[in-house]
Amino acid sequence: MEDNDPRRPLLGTRRENRYRRVASKLCSLDSWRRRLPITIWLPNYCVEYLIRDIIAGVTVGLTSIPQGIAYAIVAGVPPQVGLYSSIFPGIVYALFGSCKDVTVGPTAILSALLAKHVARSVDFAYLAAFLSGCCVLLLGVLQLGFLLDFISKPVISGFTTAAALQIAASQLKTLFRISGKSGDTFVSALVNFFTNIATVQLWDTVLGIASIIALIILKKSVIAVADSDSSCRRNTLKTWKYLVQARNAIVVLIAAIIAFVLHLYGRMPFALTGKIEGGLPRFGLPPFSTTVNNETVGFEGMLQEFGPEGLVMPLVAILESIAIAKAFAGSTTVDATQEMIAIGMCNLLASFAQSMPATGSFTRTAINHASGVMTPAGSLVKASIVLLSVTLLTEAFYFIPRATLAGVIVVAMASLIDVQIVRRLWRNSKLQLLVFVVTVVTGASVGLEYGILAGAAVDVLRTLAAAARPHITTQSFKVGNQDCICLTPVGSLSYACAEYIPMMLQRRARGRATTIVLDAKHLNSMDIGVAENLISSILDLEEKNLRFLLWNLPEHIARLLEDIQPGFDTRIVSGPSIDQHILGLDVVRRDPIY
């Protein structure tokens, strides 16, 4: 553009206005309030909200205690770390979280991903929380949440199913108190179980299975309560409903009482959780070096230990949290960017308090929602309950049987396995079912991080295959005494199908049809390579006495074809009916393109 171009001042003004609008949006009070949601809901807080938040927070807190200990055992960190990871992320989420129902803490999938790194040193857990927080926060600040859209539902569901299978299988060792290792994958856990099945301990097995049965019965009773419509028993049933929502804590408490009573009589047939270091954590920077086998490993060595697989943890953290937020948001729009900032801040700040990676928990969020939570202040109440337990009740945790905690995890994992999606995919999309199966099989046999990578890779291949073989409907019909075929491509014809389209035309031209109609009413775009091959094939087939009509062709595609082959617009027709064009009666062709 020349310096004396009269449009330059106008373009400069538009650019300045755009920058001014962006700056105003970023620096406005409303923008900053959105990034600190507590400033929005706190001014409208009232006593009614407080009462309902306390009820929900206490209920979720009673569930968070046994699950926090159980997931800490899954990850291989000290039990109190699981409790710390429920306290500090919960406090931070109350400040930055945008969804009132979401409750943040340790989850089974993150614990499973962390386990093999913690096997070398517990310091990897604290550094993982710090790094995950930094990654997720960076994605939120840069507003890169759209990257998550490239991971499809079959991949997410397959990954969750594989994780649930692996975690449940890893609990077989504790549930039956067998010897050997719990296994890093679903397959290795099963192999270890059947290899050492002769070492099963009777009383741990009985207690573990009884715990599972009790949890299932209590869970079913919640459904029965919800389905009851007896007005005279409504208040009693409502109280029972709130009580049963804390079923994990109830079962664990009963098992601990049984173990304590047996201890008083000098008998202890169960493996117990043991001593838990109570009190507050050691506050400070997360460890950027550690000791492994009496050798010091620096920050670079710790990063090498995580490797590329370490990126899976922050990815899973934000996927879990946003999926849960959307599931419980109802008609409310979920601010994905704010959720990423919230989860990033939760992990980043909690890593300074000896916490493992945390994210939204489906089980605890469901309880929070069912308990009628009104604001994110429910997370503060939950964090307070867990804080009281870790500072005042750690001696009581000594007698919690490990088999009961294993039962809690197994029941929780059963709810994560999505069986319905297999039926839906089988009926509607075999290729998406293949993506799901590859994700599950790879995750269960090789590792969860490889499962999500394999699923995403197959999903990309499925997308590329769809681009290379676009959907084209074919319809044969007759106009007068002429046999005709109508081809209707759908979507876009990209460069990947440049060879497929001519092949399709050649195949359809082998029949008795004398006229081939290309109906472009559902065609959005066409790559130049496809256009060149299409024109070449049409010209070749016309030499064999075939006639081609391009119907309902978008203007920009018509211009492309005419630009490649001048005079090609004589084949382009429009109108509500194709019959007249085929018969050559009162033919109204498209206006000349140039």
pLDDT of 545 reads: 84
Residue 223 has pLDDT above 60, yes or no: no
Q: Tell me the pLDDT of the chain averaged across its residues.
A: 84
Percentage of the chain surpassing pLDDT 90? 25
How confident is residue 176, by pLDDT bands cut at 50, 70 and 90? very high
Instruction: Please state the length of the chain.
Output: 594
CA 563/CA 567 separation, integer angstroms? 9
pLDDT of 225 reads: 47
Residue 594 has pLDDT above 80, yes or no: no
| 581 Cα distance to chain centroid | 52
How confident is residue 222, by pLDDT bands cut at 50, 70 and 90? low
The average pLDDT across 213-218 equals 89
pLDDT of 127 reads: 94
pLDDT of 109 reads: 85
Do 396 and 498 share a domain, yes or no? no
Do 313 and 404 share a domain, yes or no? yes
Residue 229 has pLDDT above 60, yes or no: no
pLDDT of 589 reads: 42
pLDDT in tens, 239-291: 777 677 778 888 888 999 999 999 898 888 988 888 888 888 989 999 999 98
Instruction: Decide if 272 is inside a domain.
Output: yes
Q: Quick one: tokens of 154?
A: 């079959």
Do 423 and 475 share a domain, yes or no? no
Residue 156 has pLDDT above 90, yes or no: no
Higher pLDDT, 516 or 329: 516
pLDDT of 31 reads: 65
Residue 478 host element (H or E): strand 472-479
The average pLDDT across 8-34 equals 59
Instruction: Decide if 18 is inside a domain.
Output: no
How confident is residue 348, by pLDDT bands cut at 50, 70 and 90? very high
Do 476 and 422 share a domain, yes or no? no
Do 284 and 349 share a domain, yes or no? yes
The domain that contains 484 carries what CATH number?
Answer: 3.30.750.24
Expressed as residue numbers, the domain containing 66 is: 39-427
**Spatial contact of 152 and 435, defined as CB atoms under 8 Å apart:** yes
Residue 182 has pLDDT above 80, yes or no: no
CA 138/CA 519 separation, integer angstroms? 47
* pTM score of the predicted model: 0.73
Instruction: Decide if 313 is inside a domain.
Output: yes
Instruction: Decide if 504 is inside a domain.
Output: yes
The average pLDDT across 429-452 equals 89
Residue 478 has pLDDT above 90, yes or no: no
Q: Is 290 helix (H, G, I), strand (E, B) or coil?
A: strand
Largest CA distance in the chain: 104
The average pLDDT across 104-127 equals 90
CA 445/CA 291 separation, integer angstroms? 30
Residue 2 has pLDDT above 50, yes or no: no
The average pLDDT across 79-104 equals 91
Q: Give strand pairing partners of 519.
A: 551
| Count of domains forming the chain | 2
Residue 587 has pLDDT above 50, yes or no: no
Lowest mean pLDDT, pick from 169-173, 491-495, 578-582: 578-582
Instruction: Decide if 172 is inside a domain.
Output: yes
Do 103 and 223 share a domain, yes or no? yes
